[in-house]
């Protein structure tokens, strides 16, 4: 399904930023420091700054993931927690 999505969007002329959290070895764990500063202004030095930038540059999002126990995988939950921050998403 993932490959088909990328191929069809590319064929339609869209620019794709294919973010594969597993392939990129994304760490889904919200650190204590991140949790304590969750509502604070973020800096370019943050561990997830690159993901925040990619999210902010996106015109649209297509999420493709397996369903685990009627929900999304833990790595995606961690991505939402760490990247979809106040003032970002």
Per-residue tokens: 50: 């690159």
Considering the entire predicted model, what is its pTM?
0.89
Q: How many domains does the chain have?
A: 1
Measured CA to CA, the distance from residue 77 to residue 63 in angstroms comes to 12
* 82 Cβ neighbours under 8 A, 6+ residues apart: 28, 30, 34, 47, 48, 51
Are the C-beta atoms of 52 and 87 separated by less than 8 Å?
no
Residue 62 lies in a domain: yes
Range of 60's domain? 18-83
Q: What average pLDDT does this structure show over 59-78?
A: 94
Residue 4 lies in a domain: no
Measured CA to CA, the distance from residue 46 to residue 48 in angstroms comes to 5
Q: Is 71 helix (H, G, I), strand (E, B) or coil?
A: strand
Handedness of CA 60, 65, 71, 73 (dihedral sign): negative
Find, among 64, 46, 57, 49, the residue nearest to 8 by Cα. 64
Residue 88 lies in a domain: no
Per-residue pLDDT band at 41 (split at 50, 70, 90): confident
Residue 7 lies in a domain: no
Q: Provide the pLDDT for residue 42.
A: 82
Residue 9 lies in a domain: no
Residue 77 lies in a domain: yes
Residue 10 lies in a domain: no
- Mean pLDDT estimate for the chain: 93
């Amino acid at each position: 399904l993932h490959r088909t999505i990328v191929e069809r969007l590319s064929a339609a002329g869209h620019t794709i930023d294919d973010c594969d959290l597993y392939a990129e070895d994304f760490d889904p764990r919200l650190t204590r420091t991140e949790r304590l500063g969750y509502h604070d202004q973020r800096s370019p030095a943050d561990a997830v700054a690159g993901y925040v930038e990619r999210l902010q540059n996106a015109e649209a999002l297509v999420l493709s993931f397996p369903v685990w126990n009627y929900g999304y995988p833990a790595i995606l939950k961690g991505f939402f927690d760490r990247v979809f921050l106040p003032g970002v998403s």
